[in-house]
Amino acid sequence: MINLRKITEENFIDAFNLKLGEGQEKFVSHPIRSLAQAYVYRDQCQPFGIYNDNKMVGYVMVIYDYDIPEYDIWHMMIDEKHQGKGYGKEALKLVMAYIKTKPFGNSDRVTLTCNLENDKALALYHGMDFAETGAVDEDEIELSLTMED
């Protein structure tokens, strides 16, 4: 059963040990970089391990942008050995449920970016009702959705 657990001193090494598939490093930053960002933005973000039962199979970070305001999903990844099993979709549903609790501030807007060549991730996001905003930054596009209550 897929579940999210906050990254803590007990499990951050497990996040460091996650591996991307060959060629996927251009799609997402490794959790080591993401956890450094989480430290910098610690008052407005929460990094999570994505678990299948008690095994970490992925990573994701939720950050709140006070300037806009909106919730952003950063660095979502599933370990190369666990891809293609539906874990990303289930994890994204759990992330959205977490965001609905408005842990950092009031906003119904959720935004993420995705590499234009990452067809599987784009299909996942479109299937979860994320729509392209038209914003493009180099090889990444922005997608967003407005959550319903």
Render pLDDT for 44-94 as a digit per residue (tens, 0 to 9). Answer: 999 999 999 999 999 999 999 999 999 999 999 999 999 999 999 999 999
Judged by DSSP in three states, 81 sits in helix
> By CB neighbour count within 10 A (0-12 exposed, 13-18 middle, 19+ buried), where does 77 fall?
buried
Tally of domains in the chain: 1
CATH at 109: 3.40.630.30
82-127: pLDDT as tens digits: 999 999 999 999 999 999 999 999 999 999 999 999 999 999 999 9
Contact 48, 59 (CB under 8 A): yes
Domain encompassing residue 11? 2-146
Token representation of residue 30:
């490794």
Token representation of residue 146:
């407005």
Q: What is the pTM of this model?
A: 0.93
